[in-house]
Amino acid sequence: MIVSTRPIREPLVTDLCAEDLASIYAKPSPRVIAKARPAIDAHAKKFIEMSPFCVLATSGADGSVDASPRGGGIGFVRVAGPNQLLMPDRSGNNRIDSFRNVVEGSGFVQLLFFVPGIDETLRVGGRGTLSADPDLLASMVEFGKPPRAVLNLAVGEVYFHCGKALMRSKLWSSEKVQRSVMPSIVTVIHDQTGLGEPASQETVEEIYKTQL
């Protein structure tokens, strides 16, 4: 048996502790701390009412975290009051990871709102519950269909993020990747799982039109 005499290299990445973070990052300014508000003010309300897209983050009973994209028409999330948001749930993949976390996990919810053309984003956090009240569902019809359920968020914290992340990414730039550089999602899942049949992007987009 040949035994290597080369020294074992230390890992290139080391885990940081709280003390390390304190030495790397300066303390946030008083204004950064103070910008977190306990309720939705006029500026946050206007931003939400302009937003067609947000990311929903939830935490499970086992400590896992789920984040999923949510979208609709402009202002699809309804501001029902300074401390209440109502978000309709549209057609999806039926995994309902987020909603299982709401009813079985901690109930804590975070929403990150985007408005196309604006680099700043808005973060809203609180505790969520779910409703399938028929009158509420009927009041939130979009794309000719009522939602299947509505997330009712009791808002506890609201604050704007600066635009640096979106500016670095050039998210709203006219420079766009051509869709053809990636196979359709149906083809990707077929390749990954062997289930179903491959389909072109054009076919997938036609399916989307009937399932919004």
93: CATH = 2.30.110.10
Per-residue pLDDT, averaged over 140-155, amounts to 95
Question: Is 87 within a domain?
Answer: yes
Domain that holds residue 212: 177-212
Whether pLDDT at 39 is above 80: yes
Same domain, 148 and 185: no
Per-residue pLDDT, averaged over 40-48, amounts to 98
Beta strands 78-81 and 65-71, pairing class:
unpaired
C-alpha to C-alpha distance for 115 and 52, rounded to whole angstroms: 7
Same domain, 134 and 165: yes
Mean pLDDT of the chain: 92
Q: Find the angle CA(23)-CA(29)-CA(31) to the nearest 5 degrees.
A: 160
Q: What is the pLDDT of residue 12?
A: 64
Same domain, 166 and 190: no
Separation of CA 93 from chain center: 16
Q: What is the pLDDT of residue 14?
A: 82
Same domain, 161 and 184: no
Same domain, 126 and 208: no
Same domain, 53 and 69: yes
Q: What is the pLDDT of residue 51?
A: 98
C-alpha to C-alpha distance for 77 and 89, rounded to whole angstroms: 10
Q: Which residues contact 54 (CB under 8 A, 6 or more apart)?
A: 69, 70, 71, 77, 87, 111, 112, 113, 114
Same domain, 146 and 197: no
Question: Is 25 within a domain?
Answer: no
Confidence band for 207, pLDDT divided at 50, 70 and 90? confident
Q: What is the pLDDT of residue 5?
A: 57
Same domain, 58 and 92: yes
Q: Which residue has the tokens 């779910």?
A: 130
Cβ atoms of 153 and 111 closer than 8 Å:
yes
pTM listed for this prediction: 0.88
The single-letter DSSP state of residue 142 is B
Question: Is 108 within a domain?
Answer: yes
